[in-house]
């Protein structure tokens, strides 16, 4: 069975690649090297990593333009759906660590008209103070450094955690090698991930970054957008990350 959308998209991708090959007069040897690179990337299990590094942020931009509301960005590979429920005002589980900088994550969830959405789920996850994820790296339990909080009747949410640090995506395989050959690197700026859900609304997946943080202007995954960069607000020694999220309806307006 033929599929017009697959035909339209894949034909344009192939044509785009052909234009690039022609523009740079790519040789047969270079083409073979590219094929071998693709094989090695597959063998290393890095196809998702490679595609996410270069293309996921573009898909986020397309979704942002289609739905409106708060700007979304890449999800990354470390979202886990079963994070613990944290009471509003409570604490995400973290290790006691001298390097911990306490962090308040708070704000509101509203609709496009600015009306509060009560009972929205704000799912939060971020790295440890040394750049690892709970349930993924180093035997850190899956209920650490992640949690879900429900908004109150005025759409507000508030949890405490600790400040994350810049994170290096896997850099020992073909993806890291390519980024380096392109004059780049494998670092992401420090970030806090969010997934915000409410019935009848388009799920928002986004991140917050820290103003002046390392790699904010040079994210290996091209995932930073200006509105997501948060100023350095501190209250009683606690870093404050504030987001007033706006959710769009879950149907694309036409
Ligand atoms: C990767 C890790 C992240 O924490 C993230 O936000 C995006 C990408 C990665 O390892 O590819
Ligand atoms: Fe991440």
Summarised one tens digit per residue, pLDDT across range 120-179 is 999 999 999 999 999 999 999 999 999 999 999 999 999 999 999 999 999 999 999 999
What confidence tens digit (pLDDT) does each residue in 60-73 have? 999 999 999 999 99
Does this model's pTM top 0.95? My answer is: no
**Alpha carbon of 126 to ligand 2 centroid (Å):** 6
CA-nearest residue for atom 2, ligand 1, is 76
Non-local (6+) Cβ contacts of 180 within 8 A are 171, 186
CA angle 159, 165, 169 (to 5 degrees): 120
Residues with CB under 5 A from ligand 2 (ion): 76
| Selection from 138, 116, 114, 120 nearest residue 128 by Cα | 138
The two tokens of residue 133 are: 């994820």
| Structure confidence at residue 254 (pLDDT) | 56
| Structure confidence at residue 3 (pLDDT) | 87
CA-nearest residue for atom 11, ligand 1, is 169
Q: How far apart are CA 147 and CA 108, in angstroms?
A: 16
Q: How distant, in Å, are the alpha carbons of 62, 74, 167, 245 from that of 112?
A: 18, 22, 33, 9
Q: How confident is the model at residue 180 (pLDDT cuts 50, 70, 90)?
A: very high
Q: What is the ipTM of this complex?
A: 0.95
| Structure confidence at residue 110 (pLDDT) | 98
Query: What ligand has the least distance to the C-alpha of 137?
Result: 1
List residues near ligand 1 (CB under 6 A): 49, 52, 74, 76-78, 167, 169, 188, 191, 221
| Selection from 236, 240, 207 nearest residue 224 by Cα | 207
**Alpha carbon of 169 to ligand 1 centroid (Å):** 6
| Structure confidence at residue 99 (pLDDT) | 76
Q: How far apart are CA 48 and CA 52, in angstroms?
A: 6
Q: How distant, in Å, are the alpha carbons of 72, 111, 117 from that of 249?
A: 14, 8, 12
Checking 237-240 for CB contacts under 8 A at 24+ apart, the result is 237/102, 238/102, 238/103, 238/104, 238/160, 239/101, 239/102, 239/103, 239/104, 239/163, 240/103, 240/104, 240/106
**Alpha carbon of 78 to ligand 2 centroid (Å):** 7
């Amino acid at each position: 069975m033929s599929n017009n959308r697959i035909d339209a998209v894949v034909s344009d991708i192939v044509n785009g690649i052909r234009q690039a090959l022609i523009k740079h007069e790519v040789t047969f040897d270079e083409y073979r090297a590219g094929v071998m690179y693709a094989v090695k990337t597959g063998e290393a299990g890095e196809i998702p990593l490679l595609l996410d590094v270069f293309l996921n942020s573009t898909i986020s931009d397309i979704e942002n333009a289609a739905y409106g509301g708060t700007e979304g960005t890449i999800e990354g590979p470390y979202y886990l759906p079963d994070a613990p429920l944290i009471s509003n005002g409570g604490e995400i589980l973290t290790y006691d660590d001298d390097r911990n900088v306490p962090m308040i994550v708070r704000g509101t969830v509203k609709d496009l008209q600015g009306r509060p959405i009560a009972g929205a789920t704000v799912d939060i996850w971020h790295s440890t103070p040394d750049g690892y994820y709970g349930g993924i790296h180093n035997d850190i339990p899956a209920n650490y450094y992640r949690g879900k909080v429900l908004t109150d009747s005025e759409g507000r949410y508030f949890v405490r955690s600790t400040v994350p640090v810049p994170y290096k995506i896997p850099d020992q395989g073909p993806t890291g090698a390519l980024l380096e050959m392109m004059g780049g690197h494998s670092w992401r700026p420090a970030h806090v991930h969010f997934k915000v859900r409410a019935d009848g609304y388009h799920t928002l997946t986004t991140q917050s970054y820290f103003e002046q943080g390392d790699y904010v202007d040079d994210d290996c995954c091209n995932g930073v957008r200006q509105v997501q960069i948060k100023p350095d607000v501190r209250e009683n020694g606690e870093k404050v990350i504030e987001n007033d999220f706006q959710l769009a309806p879950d149907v694309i307006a036409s």
